Amino acid sequence: MSGTYTVVGGGAIGGTIAFHLAGAGHRVLIVDSDAAQVAAVRERGLTIRRADGTERNMRIPARTPDEVTEPLRDVLLAVKANATATAARWIAPRLAGDGFVVSLQNGLCEPEIAAAVGARRTVSAFVNLFADLVEPGVIADGGPGALVVGELDGTVSPRVRRFVADLQAWGPAVASGNVAGFLWSKLAYGAVAAASATSDDPVADTIERHPGLTVALAREVYAVAAAQGVTPESFDAWRADAFAKDAPPDLTRAALAGFCAWLRTQPKTRTGIWRDLAVRCRPTEVPAQYGPVLRLAEDHGLRCPGVEAVLRLIGELETGRRPMSRDNPAELERAVLGGDPGTAPGGNAGAALGGNPGEVHRGNPSEERDT
């Protein structure tokens, strides 16, 4: 039985999911506030461009928000985190009584959605897709990543099972009773990804040059997750256990090396945050993603100096007060490890790796390639 979905936010994530659901015979409507995106999809259809250069095109109905008049039932919310509240307020009066909203977003967006539509009509999801909206109506798709769906109360309901079954048209989506564990792990990695976006280098290069920074940022986020009672989950090649306070240094080094090796197999080498800063020249969703993390940290008496520094540098890049440079991740690493390392949650990340944290990824640092 085919479903009916309204995808609010037809960019990289929403457009990719909409494309595959429509291709499997589901009724799909894309709603996007970007008039150019809506016009392109209407005129030429939605195009998915593969890493090998091949393209597929599909006609999918698309509208701007003011063109939508009918009730919404099953909504897939795929806007940036900083647009969540506005989108949720728009959805709320239009959402059918038996409808629900799935958060296909980065960050902890579910509370904002639930505040607008009710917790009963809010479904949690973790998404790690390798896609970019490269021009109106065209998405560069790097292939399936990870997608996990579950209820806010940690159950797997019939509607979650139905949605996950429909998502098989896209890829290996699964249901879980611990979506929060995946979301917090994405936040741990996302802090590293945001740090990498302060330079023009691929994410893997930043991690290899600054493993101490990587470990410190991940541990800061995971410390807040632990205070919230969340058990982190691993995803793709990211190993949550490698960033535990008592993780053996060899495990942490091996996990970082494995993750970087995996990143280098992906066609998307830089983040959407980098694209917002370097290509689109617009504000990122980083403050909206990590503002809740910092507020929760404060509630639990924790400090996140690394995350705070990342937000500061991203803000300076957004406003043009700072250029994109390799000096920026180095500055972030000093902010976390250069002072009293014991103040960072999880202890001394550099010491946890053993020896010089700048040398954990290679036997000879001079072999590090320039990019």
Predicted TM-score (pTM) of this structure: 0.90
DSSP H or E run through 42 = helix 35-44
Residue among 25, 26, 31, 24 nearest 10 (CA): 31
* Extended strands (E) in the chain: 4-8, 27-31, 46-50, 55-58, 62-63, 72-77, 95-103, 122-128, 131-135, 138-141, 146-151, 174-175
Contact 12, 131 (CB under 8 A): yes
Q: Which residues pair with 333 in a beta bridge?
A: none
Residues in the chain, overall count: 371
- Per DSSP, the chain holds a count of helices (H) and strands (E) of 14, 12
Domains within the chain, CATH numbers bracketed: 4-177 (3.40.50.720), 181-367 (1.10.1040.10)
Residues of the chain with pLDDT under 50: 1, 339-347, 355-371
**DSSP output for 318-342:** HTTSS---THHHHHHHHHHHSS-GG
Q: What is the pLDDT of residue 130?
A: 85
How far apart CA 293 and CA 291 sit, in angstroms, is 5
Token pair listed for 192: 């590293």
Q: What is the pLDDT of residue 143?
A: 79
Q: What is the pLDDT of residue 202?
A: 95
Q: What is the pLDDT of residue 341?
A: 35
Q: What is the pLDDT of residue 2?
A: 62
Q: What is the pLDDT of residue 359?
A: 39
**Model pLDDT for residues 1-26, shown as the tens digit of each residue:** 467 999 999 999 999 999 999 999 99
How far apart CA 101 and CA 84 sit, in angstroms, is 12
Pairing of strands 122-128, 146-151: antiparallel
